[in-house]
Copies of this chain bind each other. A is one copy, B any other.
Amino acid sequence: MTTLSSPQKINGKFKGKDILDANQFSKRDIKIIFDKTDKMKKAVLKKGGLKLLEHKVLAPLFFEPSSRTFSSFSAAMQRLGGSVIPLPNMANTSVAKGESLEDTIKVFASYSDILVIRHPEQGKVLHAADITSVPVINAGDGIGEHPTQALYDLYTINESLKKVSGLNVVFFGELGRYRPVNSLAKLLALYKNKITFVSPPQGKVQTAIIDYLKARDIEFSETETIDKVIGNCDVLYVTRVKKEFMSEALYKKIQGKYVVNKKLLQKMKKKSLIMHALPRIDEIATEVDDDPRSIYLKSQVINGMYVRMALLALVLGKI
């Protein structure tokens, strides 16, 4: 069962807070994050980084491997002068000897100033945050949340389209198990955006998200085909069909249908964006990569590092 938990609101005060769920942020919080991210971007382009987090130690607890998110957080911490405990994943750790998550969290919290946790099970990162007073950043929990992804997705939309409201955003593909959809939908709900969920019946967006949008009077719709919505779409957010969660037969059935190619691109507006949280398999044809609207391997990736630099500095009270 999917329940959306409610961690502490930020309310303009980041220091010492956990970053667990996209529902923690107000418009003002997001403005602060965007401003600080701008500063981080400038600093990196000018001199590679800043010395804000000297003597600070980040413990990455990746109970599910993720080279991309792990490396993005690592580079963010290192560019701020901080250190990362060099443990890319929690395989072969005490967890294998039968240690509880609670004990593991308490131990790593002793050594470090901030925990960045990824876990295959929804809710486990929130539970981890309850255990320790050290700030926790959710780097993805099962089919739950991925708030830092959503923050840099929104930052990138704002950077490219100069606005985060009044947009037609289309989520496209297998949506039910794809946590960035949950997080970004919540952020979009802060502003006057219209959301369309285009997915196969087996991959519909989670009911909890539908309920979240309804409760906030957000205009949205669900459909199985993209044809009717692509022409008026400002942001096409493509998702990976998660092969690891389905039969080979179902995978093939879905994967072939939910694909972005040049033909689809021709139906899109000139000023629009194609986004993807990556890794991308076949759901976006490589022929699309060079299109100026394709930002998934460009600004969307690098903004991830800038936003995480801003969040680390904010949560650690150094900015």
- List A residues at the B interface (Cβ < 8 Å): 47-50, 54-57, 59, 65-68, 70-72, 74-75, 78-79, 81, 83-94, 97-100, 102-104, 106-108, 110-113, 240, 243-244, 278-281, 286, 297, 301-302, 304-305
Inter-chain CA distance A100–B75, complex, in Å, is: 22
Q: Are A65 and B93 in contact (CB under 8 A)?
A: yes
Q: Which of B59, B110, B301 contacts A107 (CB 8 A)?
A: B301
If A70-B87, A88-B87, A110-B305 touch, whether A94 touches B279 (CB-CB below 8 Å) is yes
Q: Which residues of B contact A93 (CB under 8 A)?
A: 65, 67-68
Pair B280/A103 contact, Cβ less than 8 Å: yes
Residues on the B chain within 8 Å of A240, using CB: 97
Partner of A111, one of B47, B72, B81, B89: B72
Q: Which residue of B lies closest to A301 (CB)?
A: B110
Which residue of chain B lies nearest to A71 when distances are taken between CB atoms in the complex?
B85
**Which residues of chain B come closer than 8 Å to A83, judged between CB atoms?**
75, 78-79
Copies held by the complex: 3
Q: Contact at B88–A279, with CB atoms within 8 Å?
A: no
Other-chain contact of A57, B78, B89, B107, B111 (Cβ < 8 Å): B78
Contact B86–A67 (Cβ < 8 Å): no
Q: Which residue of B lies closest to A102 (CB)?
A: B286
- Most B CB contacts (10 A, CB to CB) among A59, A68, A106 go to A68
Give the distance to chain B from A116, nearest Cβ to Cβ, in Å: 13
| Complex CA–CA separation, A54 to B281 (angstroms) | 36
Q: How far is the CB of A97 from chain B (nearest CB, A)?
A: 5
CA distance A50 to B302 in the complex (A): 28
Question: How distant is the Cα of A91 from the Cα of B49 in the complex, in angstroms?
Answer: 29
Q: How far is the CA of A76 from the CA of B306 in the complex (A)?
A: 26
Question: A98–B279 contact, CB under 8 A?
Answer: yes
A-B complex: 8 closest residue pairs judged by Cβ atoms: A48-B55, A86-B86, A67-B93, A49-B55, A78-B83, A99-B279, A94-B279, A75-B111
B79 engages A57 (CB within 8 Å): yes
**Which residues of chain B have C-beta atoms less than 8 A from A48's C-beta?**
54-57, 113
Q: A86-B88, A106-B297, A106-B301 are in contact. Are A278 and B70 (CB under 8 A)?
A: no
Please pick, from B55, B59, B72, the residue contacting A71 in the complex, using a CB distance under 8 A: B59
Q: Which of B59, B113, B278, B297 contacts A94 (CB 8 A)?
A: B278
Measured between beta carbons, the chain B residues less than 8 angstroms from A98 are 243, 279, 281
- The residues of B that contact A56 with a CB separation of less than 8 Å are 48
